[in-house]
Amino acid sequence: MITFDVITIFPDSIKGYLEESIIGRAEKKKLIKIRLHDLRSFSESKHKKVDDRPYGGGPGMVLMLQPLVSAMDHVAKVLGSGAKKSETEVVVFAAGGKQFDQKTADLWARRRKHLVFVCGHYEGIDARLVPILKKSGWKVNELSIGPYVLTGGEVPAMAVIDAVSRRLPGALGKEESVEERRHGVGVPVFTRPEVFARRGKKYRVPEELLSGNHRAIEKWRLEHKAK
């Protein structure tokens, strides 16, 4: 089982997605466990403030160091003394981080028991967090899910949880349901009806897929998979 701990200021924004469909079923099967941690509950300020203006000026706000460190200390206690930091990956989502890919999802599904996600927001997080965590013995990855900028780490956290969870045996029900193991990622797929008419034009399912010839079907899929 893999445990996902998510530190975020918007836990409700991701709770619904994680409780539905494949991810929700995987948790019910005890293949995964998801814990959401509201960053505001770790703030020591009177009004539970978690962000402040950046030193040196500039627009926007930055997530403060104290709530982030306290949240990670809490996660360490929840994981318990039996948790091995070598089996735990702390992911800090950042626009300039290493890009997440399928190879990383496969690796974490096989080798990690705990994944901790720190969801930045606004203009990011206090840059001292990463060296503090590394000094404490955590394995830390600064990660991005693509060559673009998002407003927060919540969407990346959901994407990574999804990508890793579906690689666990039993998560999809049948092993052959994992598309990339069968014929690669990005192969066009079709279902009934065989012919769909719209505005005088007919859209047909490729003949090879209707032939029943497994060799021809596999050849077609190899020719049409995403490069």
Mean pLDDT on 194-214? 96
The ranges assigned to domains in the chain are 2-175, 183-224
pLDDT for the residue numbered 87: 82
In whole angstroms, give the CA distance from residue 131 to residue 127. 8
At the top level of CATH, the class of 2-175 is alpha beta
With vertex at residue 99, the alpha carbon angle to CA 93 and CA 101, rounded to the nearest 5 degrees, is: 115
CA angle 112, 115, 119 (to 5 degrees): 155
| pLDDT attached to residue 183 | 53
The predicted structure's pLDDT at residue 178: 53
In tens, the pLDDT along 105-148 reads 999 999 989 999 999 988 889 999 999 999 999 999 999 999 99
* pLDDT given for residue 184 in this prediction: 54
Residue 180 has pLDDT above 80, yes or no: no
In terms of Cα–Cα distance, which of 91, 158, 87, 89 is closest to 125?
91
pTM for the whole structure? 0.87
Tell me the three state secondary structure of residue 205.
coil
- Whether the per-residue pLDDT at 227 is higher than 90: the answer is no
Is the Cβ–Cβ distance between 109 and 162 less than 8 Å?
Answer: no
What is the CA angle 151-57-147, rounded to 5? 30
Residue-level pLDDT at 122: 81
Distance CA 87, CA 85 (A): 5
